Chain A
């Protein structure tokens, strides 16, 4: 028998080992990039080397942070809104199947609207404030979650529903006790997809007009011919997305403890 403390370092080791291939890949890419810039003689005003980007990012850390915060706020609020809408509409569709045919075409149209066209319009209509950013993030992230939830409800074992009804459960109880938990794995799969779009959507909305935010930072850097600063902001957005992804993975573990058990009895 192992004492639980013996698991501490080995768990950390496992996490590192899991992340190692990804780190190596990223490291190799960055190295190749650095080498290319050094040896091709390309001007750093066209393609800055990763070391330059990192140095600039560090020098500009206060400005980057100040602009990352509003982006993160728009992402978080937009995502929360999207989550609530996805839950609400998925339930409407689940309880009134006819609504699926009413709502899905509309959602699909919204999902396929070109962001390039719609983002400036929304900013034009609703102004430079937080509102339009939240709206755009929600618009982009809503559909994958909705589809995942609806499909998840449908994956519920029929026998479980029949069992619950035999025990006297009504429609709502069957939903809460069986359909919703059955949908969780699907829901989190959709959530992982959505979260990777969320930061990009917020940046895009800011790019179309905002007072502060990574999007507007990128726009200004581009207009003053500073690709190194553009790439610094891109780096920040990538890190933000990775952090949000990790957060979703952590919530997933907490929300579905039964999916993360070893398949041997615990006694």
Chain B
């Protein structure tokens, strides 16, 4: 494992009297894919908001390697795709580049060659409402990665998709990631998704969220569609489910 890029130390936070996150300690190494798995309401999205500086932690610290600036460290993909209905797809995708000071023309020149790979060719002038759910997620993902920031924060990127599209998107993301090895944090409720995509998995308890388990997933890639890995993946999945179900009785929706 190469050096640690991001380190959270005993991070805690709440809204008023509601404790949402309790003592979360975790790290992300350069080029590593880490998933955060936890029941609904366990503070996963809040954790990202803390990283982004949207909220202040009540206690604990967030440190970037080399004292990097947090404001430009993360490329963030919010839980819902957060595409702007009033901007065409191409303008949604170049948003981050334009905000970083790139001219619209240069930004487009950078993005256009990637549209094909993301299945968005011919749709650059469409509005988000004209796209299918899967296309919207791909557009949101492209908008995230073109920013070329050191760390990707993906908050349930495929949560709203149907099972088939979700599996296609997981395969798509795996392919992209294997080529680019972005340092990534992925939030998900989907245990299989976490196992298929991650190098390491943190499991959170129900609210207030604490880390109740950490799993290394040392399986070969590509994993999606590889029959040989099914057994090993299932074993890890079973362990994680066992942990989630036995630690918090109200996490049953995870298996359903």
Contacts and interface: CB of A to CB of B under 8 A. Distances in A.
B86 A256 contact: yes
B99 A162 contact: no
Decide if the interface of chain B is mainly helix, strand, loop or mixed: loop
Interface residues of A, number: 26
Nearest to A266: B126
A228 to B, nearest CB: 49
A32 interface: no
Contacts, number: 69
Interface residues of B, number: 31
A4 B107 CA distance: 33
B127 A258 contact: yes
A181 B84 contact: yes
A102 to B, nearest CB: 27
B82 interface: yes
A193 interface: no
Contacts of B159: none
A264 B126 CA distance: 10
A103 B147 CA distance: 41
Interface in A161-177: 162-169, 173, 177
B224 to A, nearest CB: 27
A160 B125 CA distance: 20
B76 interface: yes
Nearest to A178: B84
B96 A167 contact: yes
Interface of B: 49, 52-54, 71-72, 74-76, 78-80, 82, 84-86, 95-96, 99-100, 122-123, 125-132, 147
Interface of A: 157, 159-160, 162-169, 173, 177-178, 181, 184, 256-258, 261-267
